[in-house]
Amino acid sequence: MTERRARRADDVSGDITRRELYFFNLYRLLESVIYLALVFSPLAVDWIRISHSQMGRVVALVYCAVAAILLITTERMRKNLSASIGLAIALDTLAASLVLFSISGGHSSIPMMLMVNVGVCALLLPFRQSLALATLAAVGVMAPPIYAYVNESAVDRSVLEATLFGLAYLAVAALCAHLGRQMRETEALAEQRGVDLLNLEQVNDLIIRRMKTGVLLVDDANHILRINESAWHLIGNPSPSERDLGQVAAELSRRLYHWRHSGRIDQNPVALAADVPEVIPRFSRMAPNDDTHILIFLDDTSLLSRRAEEMTLASLGRLSASIAHEIRNPLAAIRYSAQLLAESESMEEEDRRLVEIVNNHCTRANEVIENILQLSRRERSRPESIDVNAWALNFVEEYKQNNDLGQDHLRAITQNRQIEAMVDPQHLQQVVWNLVQNAIRYGREPGAVARVVVVARLATDKGPPLLEVVDRGPGIPAKVAAQIFDPFYTTSEYGTGLGLYLARQMCESSQATLEYVPVAGGGACFRITLSAAATLVPRGAAQTG
């Protein structure tokens, strides 16, 4: 959408330049018609004496043909604006000078018309180029009377008048160049502000679209004008063509009618469609005492319950972290004592086995403590825009450099099109690293090598970015898959049961989701659904030269 708006701004600027050139070329054609009237009209004999009629008529005819060609090729002139206008002004000056030369006694209307050409040239071109062309026009207008004065062939032609016209050309060029520069700066500033407004509008749209609270905007006829993703899901994913609130969500329409006439809001939760969470609707007018546009907010009660649960879990997490921290000191003493016992030369083999068991369980308990402490002190997510294709390729390369895979296989599959997502790269690195390690460790058939693939793709053509870790192992049974993200749940003798739980928590902190997807024909797939990155229009992108 933003790129389309930027192109629209370019088209508007291009239309302005095209219109200016068109009227400039149309004025040039009018000049040529006046030249033809001066040299061909029999009425002109009474007040104009033509001394070189043949040359005047040829020049007027050629200039008229050139003016017509320039009018037809206006679009091509925009491709090389400076050169095209410079050449056209040179032709205007030459035609005006020759027509003046062919008319005895001169005619002030020709220099007056050429002044318009000089002014338009100064508006469209840089100052130095417009000043040079104005000087050329001044010389062209002054040349015929000076030539006539030297040869005394036309004593009524005023050199002073031509000189004044030449000075006027320079003054008009300087003034119009200043005005043109101000106009271009103003236009550039307006386009820059337009881009800033487009970016701000896009940010606002993105914020509203990503809000967990459902938002609808309806008019006085209960017609839905705007709706965000959350509201669309909470009213049952209706067809985009359905915009009547009474048909889409009858209960919501009833409550809106009741609020409009009584001013009271029903606070009881209600499910607006089948298989959707219950919501509490809230209504707000866009302006006081104005029912033309009403904002409807749908508060998901499950989100409120989840937030309360998260606050409880956060408190339990801090308590668990403090307990884990207190356990570390005696655990370290136990492990150190077991290591000292293992160094005794008189220890029997059965006792050494018991010491080894103590060390193994101390190591496992320490891993649990480290995971709990990591969960409690996890840094806040810092999302940034990344290229998912490039990230997947770099991750696989880095993993291979830091781990000896042996005969196991790890590769990345990417798409030709660019995929951008908003995520914290460090959190994503930890999550995918954990998923790949689990896939290599457990995602293999007995006696076979592990084959793991990191896939970067889009859910659909316009869907969110996906990052998947896929293996061709035995897969995960349905009963186990329903609990693998629960804390402390593990099927491994030496596992802590916090790896996948931490991975999901890190994903959620970056507004991403982690889920397990069975693979047809055997295997497992852990899918990370990322948030798409919004591309802003760079400042000055919509400006034209």
Concatenating the DSSP letter of every residue in 327-358 gives HHHHHHHHHHHHHHHHT-TT--HHHHHHHHHH
Domain with CATH 3.30.450.20 in the chain: 211-303
Cβ atoms of residues 423 and 386 within 8 Å: yes
What residues does 49 pair with on adjacent strands?
104
Q: Output the pLDDT for position 26.
A: 87
What totals of helices (H) and strands (E) does the chain contain, helices first?
16, 14
Token pair belonging to 168: 């006027």
CA distance 161 to 148: 13
| pLDDT value at 143 more than 70 | yes
Higher-pLDDT residue of 423 and 314 is: 423
| pLDDT value at 89 more than 60 | yes
Higher-pLDDT residue of 90 and 151 is: 90
Distance set, CA 311 to CA 304, 317, 320, 338 (Å) = 11, 10, 14, 40
How do residues 98-126 score in pLDDT, each as one tens digit?
A: 887 777 655 667 888 888 888 888 887 88
DSSP category for residue 43: G
Maximum mean pLDDT: which of 46-55, 101-110, 145-154, 236-245: 236-245
Token pair belonging to 10: 């370019």
Domain with CATH 3.30.565.10 in the chain: 384-532
Cβ atoms of residues 510 and 428 within 8 Å: yes
Report the candidate in 450, 465, 433 with the shortest Cα–Cα distance to residue 534: 465
How do residues 194-232 score in pLDDT, each as one tens digit?
A: 888 888 877 777 777 777 788 888 888 888 888 888 888
Please state which CATH number belongs to domain 384-532.
Answer: 3.30.565.10
Average pLDDT over residues 513-520: 86
Report the candidate in 276, 282, 274, 275 with the shortest Cα–Cα distance to residue 298: 282
Report pTM. 0.41
What residues does 422 pair with on adjacent strands?
385, 531
| pLDDT value at 492 more than 70 | no
Please state which CATH number belongs to domain 314-376.
Answer: 1.10.287
| pLDDT value at 493 more than 70 | no
How do beta strands 451-458 and 409-413 pair?
Answer: parallel
CA distance 325 to 389: 40
Report the candidate in 236, 201, 229 with the shortest Cα–Cα distance to residue 213: 229
Cβ atoms of residues 39 and 102 within 8 Å: yes
CA distance 226 to 245: 12
CA distance 98 to 54: 11
CA distance 181 to 184: 5
| pLDDT value at 321 more than 70 | no
Angle in degrees, CA 248, 254, 256, rounded to 5: 95
How do residues 333-355 score in pLDDT, each as one tens digit?
A: 887 787 777 777 777 777 778 87
CA distance 89 to 83: 10
- Which CATH number is correct for 211-303, 3.60.21.10, 1.10.8.640, 3.30.450.20, 1.10.287.3510? 3.30.450.20
3-class secondary structure, 463: coil
CA distance 169 to 89: 13
| pLDDT value at 6 more than 50 | no
| pLDDT value at 501 more than 60 | yes
Q: Output the pLDDT for position 43.
A: 54
Cβ atoms of residues 88 and 136 within 8 Å: no
Higher-pLDDT residue of 493 and 171 is: 171
CA distance 305 to 279: 12
Domain with CATH 1.10.287 in the chain: 314-376
What is the pLDDT confidence band of residue 378, given thresholds at 50, 70 and 90? low
How do residues 244-269 score in pLDDT, each as one tens digit?
A: 888 888 888 888 888 888 888 888 88
What is the pLDDT confidence band of residue 393, given thresholds at 50, 70 and 90? very high
3-class secondary structure, 412: strand
Residue given tokens 């062309």 in the structure block: 133
